[in-house]
A and B are shown apart, each in its own frame.
Chain A
Amino acid sequence: MTTAHASSGAGSNPPPESDTVIDVRGLRMRYRDHEVLRGVDFTARRGEVLVLLGPNGAGKTTTIEVLEGFRMRSAGDVSVLGADPARGDERWRARLGIVLQSWRDHGKWRVRELLDHLGSYYAPYSTALVRRPWDVDELIAAVGLTAQAHKRVGTLSGGQRRRLDVAVGIVGKPETLFLDEPTAGLDPEARNEFHGLVRGLADERTTVLLTTHDLAEAEKLADRILILAGGRIVADGSAEELSRQVSGEATVRWTRDGRPFERATTEPTRFVRRLFEEHGEAIGGLEVRRASLEDTYLTMVRELETGNGPGERAARAFEEGPR
């Protein structure tokens, strides 16, 4: 067990209904003598999709569970929807959505029956602005389970089960949604539908924080990517911003008279123009490639893991980068 103690005084909380929905400052988490989080800082605005990346054991799940109010932090100020998750009441919880990874629970319940039941807990928290819960049949259609609505949960396939998990997570029309590796085990088609669903929620001003190991997914979904490594957020920005920060260089590949060439350059446009001026028709198979999110991510994590020197430098570079 970890000791619970939160140092936030009333004065340090952000204004309750400001545009900032998640505000994390100096979040620390210690398990006995092992410090998993050593000062995590980030914020999320209403309607933003944040993707939390990081190697296994970096503390992604811990971070998300602190925000959900499921885990007590060792130190730091955390505010979600204007409240400290460690003291969030049920009214606060009703505005939160949590997508859990199920494996066997509610096996005897039918899909519609379960969503109807879990949704009904949210009815007392319905407001003129946000009607709660979500209409069951609409919700089932939105996650693509209409054909399975009357099937027992225990008979669903892995992919269908994940859709149900998402449906359970959003049945209360949450203002903030947490998803810990929501697409693990989904086939590409289901993954794609899931992405559409998340974007749709964000369009309706739902703030989404999700973790994933799939970098393509992060690039596709995220308004902002956070990379958690070494117990801290070492990068914070859009996929483009991140790749520019890690490496200003682009790789240009081409063939001249059938022979392949490759060159790294900080000014690919000028380089390519010169290439054509000099060789004209002889140039073929031109390709200009900026560092992908995957390159960026791997570079960062590798530097952090191989030693302090370059890693710290990279971390500092990111902290100084544009927000």
Chain B
Amino acid sequence: MSPVWYAARLGVRRGRTELRQTFTSGQDVFGYVLWTVLLMVPLFLAGDERLKGAGISAGAFMLPSMVGMTLAFTGMMTTAQLLATEREDGTLLRAKAVPHGMVGHLVGKIVMVSGTALVSMALPLVVGVFLVDGVARQGGGALLTLVWVVPLGLLATLPMGAVIGSLVDSPRTVGLLMLPVMGLIVVSGIYFPLSKLPEWLQIVGQVFPVYWLGLGLRAALLPAGAVAAEVGASWRYLETVGVLGAWAAAGLLLAPSVLRRMARRESGATMAERHRKAMQRVG
């Protein structure tokens, strides 16, 4: 086995270790539960309000959309956040000092974020199906959609997250990025169908993966009649593959060189400097 493959295998192990760590850490578990609770609030607020012509409740529309949003959010923002944090605290520098450590680190991060994303999606979904009717009731065929939408969603968001995490100068900057992300969610048809927005905002929303992941999850989890609420009354599978695929391709194209450039710049001195700045902020 080549050393690179060997390091990649160690990376898988690293990812599994980190997953075990996050799901046994009180603080992290609290975070996952809090996220689930926050997502449930609008379901209660919507009550039994029906979505006109679609034969489902507003809550039933929101639930899969929010699960899709969770995927996009975790894939992109968690990856960016982790990368920026681990650059600042020296995790990356350690990886760099070890033979093929960067390969292991990156593979580990992919495993870790993917696992986190799946759990963050499953929790609200499992809780949500007890709160709203008509979600995930139509069996196998539609559920197969999940089998390609979810991995494609991870591919579309993870590398982009890595690019963002490499370009920002500190984890605080990722925090600032949350503001535009909030705006993006409003125009991504998560809490109400996109068709209720002015047309130019619809176009903006359809550029980003959040909308398409929401759509993909709705296609998988809602009854067939719910398609009436969608743009063009279609699940638009081809377009979903097209847009998510384009994001994946762009991310996979950009990420290696951006990551390499970021890794090349890492050294003890640059890290000590960031440490000093971070400490000043605390002190």
Residue numbers of A with Cβ under 8 A of B are 1, 61-62, 64-65, 68, 70-71, 90-91, 93-94, 96, 98, 100-106, 108-109, 113, 117-118, 120-125, 168-169, 172, 180
- Determine the chain B residues whose CB is within 8 A of the CB of A120 once the complex forms: 10
- Determine the chain A residues whose CB is within 8 A of the CB of B265 once the complex forms: 1
Partner of B269, one of A62, A121, A168: A62
Residue numbers of B with Cβ under 8 A of A are 3, 6-7, 10, 13-14, 17-18, 21-22, 25, 86, 89-91, 93-94, 96-101, 104, 265-269, 271-272, 275
Q: What are 30 inter-chain pairs, A to B, with CB distance below 8 A?
A: A61-B272, A68-B97, A71-B269, A90-B99, A90-B100, A91-B99, A94-B99, A100-B93, A100-B268, A102-B89, A102-B94, A103-B89, A104-B90, A105-B86, A105-B90, A106-B94, A108-B21, A109-B17, A117-B10, A117-B17, A118-B98, A121-B7, A121-B99, A121-B104, A122-B98, A122-B99, A124-B99, A168-B94, A169-B97, A172-B99
A103 adjacent to B101 (CB under 8 Å) = no
Beyond A102-B90, A104-B89, A108-B21, whether A124 also contacts B6 by CB under 8 A is yes
Closest to A97 in B: B97
- Determine the chain A residues whose CB is within 8 A of the CB of B18 once the complex forms: 108
Q: How far in angstroms is the closest Cβ of chain B from A93?
A: 5
- Bound: A49/B15 CA distance, A: 38
- Bound: A12/B18 CA distance, A: 46
- Bound: A64/B6 CA distance, A: 29
- Bound: A104/B271 CA distance, A: 12
- Bound: A109/B266 CA distance, A: 22
- Bound: A124/B100 CA distance, A: 11
- Bound: A167/B104 CA distance, A: 19
Q: How far in angstroms is the closest Cβ of chain B from A112?
A: 12
Closest to A106 in B: B91
- Bound: A40/B272 CA distance, A: 24
Interface contacts beyond A61-B269, A65-B267, A100-B90: sample of 19 additional A-B pairs, CB < 8 Å, sorted by A: A61-B268, A65-B269, A68-B97, A70-B96, A100-B94, A101-B272, A103-B89, A103-B90, A104-B90, A105-B86, A106-B91, A108-B21, A117-B14, A118-B98, A121-B10, A121-B100, A124-B99, A169-B97, A172-B98
Q: How far in angstroms is the closest Cβ of chain A from B245?
A: 33
A98 adjacent to B25 (CB under 8 Å) = no
Partner of A180, one of B17, B266, B268, B275: B268
- Determine the chain B residues whose CB is within 8 A of the CB of A118 once the complex forms: 94, 98, 101
Q: How far in angstroms is the closest Cβ of chain B from A173?
A: 12
Closest to A121 in B: B98
Q: How far in angstroms is the closest Cβ of chain A from B212?
A: 33
- Bound: A91/B99 CA distance, A: 7
A98 adjacent to B91 (CB under 8 Å) = no
Closest to A62 in B: B269
Q: How far in angstroms is the closest Cβ of chain A from B147?
A: 31
B267 adjacent to A70 (CB under 8 Å) = yes
- Bound: A219/B91 CA distance, A: 33
- Determine the chain B residues whose CB is within 8 A of the CB of A100 once the complex forms: 90, 93-94, 97, 268, 271
Closest to A91 in B: B99
- Determine the chain A residues whose CB is within 8 A of the CB of B93 once the complex forms: 100
Q: How far in angstroms is the closest Cβ of chain A from B114?
A: 18
- Bound: A125/B7 CA distance, A: 12
- Determine the chain B residues whose CB is within 8 A of the CB of A101 once the complex forms: 90, 268, 272
- Determine the chain A residues whose CB is within 8 A of the CB of B101 once the complex forms: 118, 121
Q: How far in angstroms is the closest Cβ of chain A from B39?
A: 25
